[in-house]
Amino acid sequence: MITDATAQSTFVPNYDENKVVNYSLPGLGDIIGEKINNVSQWEKAKGKWLQIYASEMYGTFPLKKISVTSKLLVQKPILNGKAEMNVWEVSLAGKVKVHLIGFIPLGTPVKAALLGLNFCGINTVFMDKDIPVSSKYVICNESPFFNNHIANDKAVGIQEDKWQIEKVINAGYASFSVACADFEEDFPDGYKKGVRTILANDLKLNPKDWSAMSAWAWGLSKMLDVIETLPELKNTKMILHGHSRMGKASLWAAANDTRFDAVIAIQSGEGGAALLRRNFGEGIEPITTRFPHWFLPDFAKYAGNEYTLPFDQHILLSLIAPRPLFVSSALDDQWADPKGEFLSAKEAGFAYQLYEKKGITEVNMPDTEVLVGKNINYYIRKGKHEVNALDWDYFLKFIPKVVSGDF
């Protein structure tokens, strides 16, 4: 599988903290030319920060309303009757068909629901033969589950350990997933058959006005349109989560759509939670060279000139405030710059303080498997760039606090 961490590049990354250049970060009020001292000022600045991220990095996040309708394709009890699995075919403006899968606990009020983009089709997140197999190009290509990046029926459930559906259900929470490829396939020309092109007239946007990252983020927002109509999920906290590039998309989605009550960004790295000004791990040059469709083409101009950026990723995290935020890293995932993720999350605490919320007070990075922070949580574990069962144990410590507000 091609991932942020394994895709090939001629770029030589820096993994030596002694070679990290000195840098200063933009202040929250730089965009309006004044120091931010209260929520009113910050709310004014937030809109301008969103505009500059849209013009310089991610592209437009569409705000024009379109019709979003759904048809239930599959409904069945699972896990010995503990939950119900549903698969919907969602239609966007009657032109784009998307498959949304949901796992909802039975017999108990659902206080929180998780929504995440998957890499390789909804058929990979849970072992059940009734889940439709994706026909889209995906980054996965392991034999014998995929043929030329297209899933076959052997791919059912092959990534269920990354989703831990039963563990989530046992905790009393619902879980939803949608494939990023249903909005835009993950390669440079993927936009030609995706929402950016098919819905260009409906959204009154040129495909080049936004990026794959914005297409995926906007897709999450459209799935929330559907989930909100489910009667069993009234008064339910909606928590976005995403790993790697999907973590980047989740942060951008939550920054634009405040209906998401919390975000879990898992090893989101460059273009996600990690600070861009640190010359550590992946940089703007390799990410924009290998994945030019993820961001606007002009974002590449900051490669080697990161200090000229009008923002850095602590601002993106600050746009989530005052909603709870969980930033997760892995020790061996140096490509994603865990320290840069920690420092970014810590810096975002200034925005949370405006709402009388606490962020991260620890000066130094915590040891592995030590959860730190209040309304912003940070955790790093041993191991590589992936989502595993241990990660979910920590996420499930975070979710009850989101539900209760007890941070």
Catalytic site residues?
Answer: 244, 385
Nearest to 245 by CA among 270, 221, 222: 270
Distance from C-alpha of 194 to C-alpha of 112, rounded to nearest angstrom: 30
Count of beta carbons in the 10 Å neighbourhood of residue 364: 9
Under DSSP, is residue 6 helix (H, G, I), strand (E, B) or coil? coil
Cα–Cα distances in angstroms (integers) from residue 338 to residues 295, 325, 331, in the given order: 22, 16, 7
Count of beta carbons in the 10 Å neighbourhood of residue 405: 9
Cα–Cα distances in angstroms (integers) from residue 311 to residues 18, 48, 306, 390, in the given order: 24, 11, 9, 33
Question: In angstroms, how far is the first alpha carbon of the chain from the final one?
Answer: 37
Q: Is the C-alpha dihedral spanning 99, 105, 107, 111 positive or negative?
A: negative
Where do the DSSP E strands lie in 173-319? 174-179, 237-243, 262-266
Q: Which amino acid is at 114?
A: L
The residues, any chain, with a CB within 8 Å of residue 294's CB and separated by 6 or more, are 211, 212, 213, 245, 248, 271, 287, 288
Number of H helices, E strands in the chain: 12, 11
CA angle 157, 160, 161 (to 5 degrees): 140
The residues, any chain, with a CB within 8 Å of residue 404's CB and separated by 6 or more, are none
